Amino acid sequence: MQDALHAALLPQGLHDLLPPDAGHEAVIVERALASITAHGYERVKPPLVEYEAGLLAGVGAADRDRIFRLLDPVTQRTMAVRADLTPQIARIAAVRLAHAPRPLRLAYTGEVLRVVGDQLRPERQFRQVGCELIGSLEPTADAEIIALAAETALGIGITGLTVDLALPTLVPALLEAHGITGAARAELETALDRRDASVLAARGDEVGRMLADLVNLAGPVDSALKQFASLALPASAEPDRARLFAVVAQLRGRVPAVPLTIDPVERRGFEFQTGLSFTLFARGVRGELGRGGRYRVAASNEPAVGVTLFSDSLLRALPPPARTLRVFVPVGGDAAKLREQGWITVAALGPVDDARAEAKRLGCTHVWIDAAVSEIA
């Protein structure tokens, strides 16, 4: 009954977080940000809405069909609610912080809203926590971001973490180098999206074999990189491969315990990335924990790499928080003193007959009675 009423009260894909989840999410987000800012990333906070054009610039182009649009009565221009923070952080880097020294390290958290959810993430609102490293093409920058994302996830208690690497610009470079366009390209892309190596190999030509090899090598990096190293790639695809090898080597040193996998033909959700990209998963948890990769800042064309973690997935991946200790304080008790000692107090608003029973009724774990804190049985 209450659930049905609730369903009628909130639009699909939008939820209230109740105790203890709302507090737990806040703790997770602050711990993630503490991990990120310890690496020198400084917090910025863009507004929830801004002009549509700003949100859709550069990597923001991915959000064209998922932003809510609003007419601004003040300016009579179309604004939109952000569906992702990265385009906003890129705008801040290029415009507000154009003269700040590079590389520029920025951290953020904020809610995003999407017109429709997708299969793996039906939520239409969630909180992003992330960071962007702007102004460096060094593989060390990619490695810093990926290692930081992994360390942050581990630091908040995620278990079964894996990082899946992708090279979304590799396939386009291969197809271009072989002059494959139009219907032929679309056909290959469909086969790639289905990971259908047999269709690819059945072409019988060099590019078909190479794409089939790329599909087949997907998996743990150790074996994948061995096979990948032996492929005769066109020159235009070499930078992608070189970056991948350099970054994997660094990640082995930085986060040796985190399993790395690679799926070199993965492109979904990376359509606007300009190089090495990645997704974080936790074993057995629905939806990705986070994702990131290389892109170009639209307004300045600077190279950048960043990562975003998703609060809803993190919350699903973690055990519920320990029960909070709360002490009920009857009239006359010194709640302020108990708070100074670190207690969470719940003060009576009037006299009660049985303080212990009232404490229990209010969900307290302790009660102030006979001038001492006593545990509720």
Query: Which parts of 86-115 interact with a copy of itself (CB under 8 A)?
Result: 88, 91-92, 95-99, 101, 103, 105, 108-111, 113, 115
Beta partners for residue 219, in sequence order:
262
What is the Cα–Cα distance from 279 to 154, expressed in whole angstroms?
A: 15
CA–CA distance, 150 with 154 (Å, rounded to integer): 6
Candidates 186, 325, 357, 362; binder of a copy of itself (CB under 8 A) is: 362
Asked if residue 85 belongs to a known ligand binding site, the reply is: yes
Q: Which of residues 17-36 bind a copy of itself (CB under 8 A)?
A: 17-23, 25-26, 30, 33
* Residues touching a copy of itself, count (CB under 8 A): 83
Q: Tell me: does residue 141 bind a copy of itself (CB under 8 A).
A: yes
In single-letter form, the type of residue at position 108 comes to Y
Strand ranges, E, within 194-285: 219-220, 260-262, 277-282
Per CB under 8 A, does 349 bind a copy of itself? yes
Tokens of 299: 């307004």
Of 86, 128, 136, 152, which lies in the binding site for a copy of itself, with binding defined by CB under 8 A?
136
Contact 332, 351 (CB under 8 A): no
**Has 84 been labeled as part of a binding site?**
yes
Half-sphere exposure of 369 (CA within 13 A, CB side): 16
What distance separates the 2 farthest-apart alpha carbons in the chain? 87
- Report residue 121: phi and psi, to 5°: -135, 80
Query: Is 347 a binder of a copy of itself (CB under 8 A)?
Result: yes
- Binders of a copy of itself among 188-207, rule CB under 8 A? none
Token digits of residue 56: 């859709």
- Give the contact letters, 144-183, x = binds to a copy of itself (CB under 8 A), - = no: x---------------------------------------
Nearest residue (CB) to a copy of itself, 230 versus 301: 301
Hey, what are 121's tokens?
């993430």
Residue 13 in contact with a copy of itself, rule: CB under 8 A: yes
Which of 15, 31, 252, 356 touches a copy of itself (CB under 8 A)?
15
Stretch that binds a copy of itself, among 162-170, 192-200, 272-280, 343-351 (CB under 8 A): 343-351
- Indicate the Cα dihedral angle 67, 277, 122, 23, nearest 10°: -90
* Binding annotation for L-histidine: 84-86, 114, 128, 132, 268
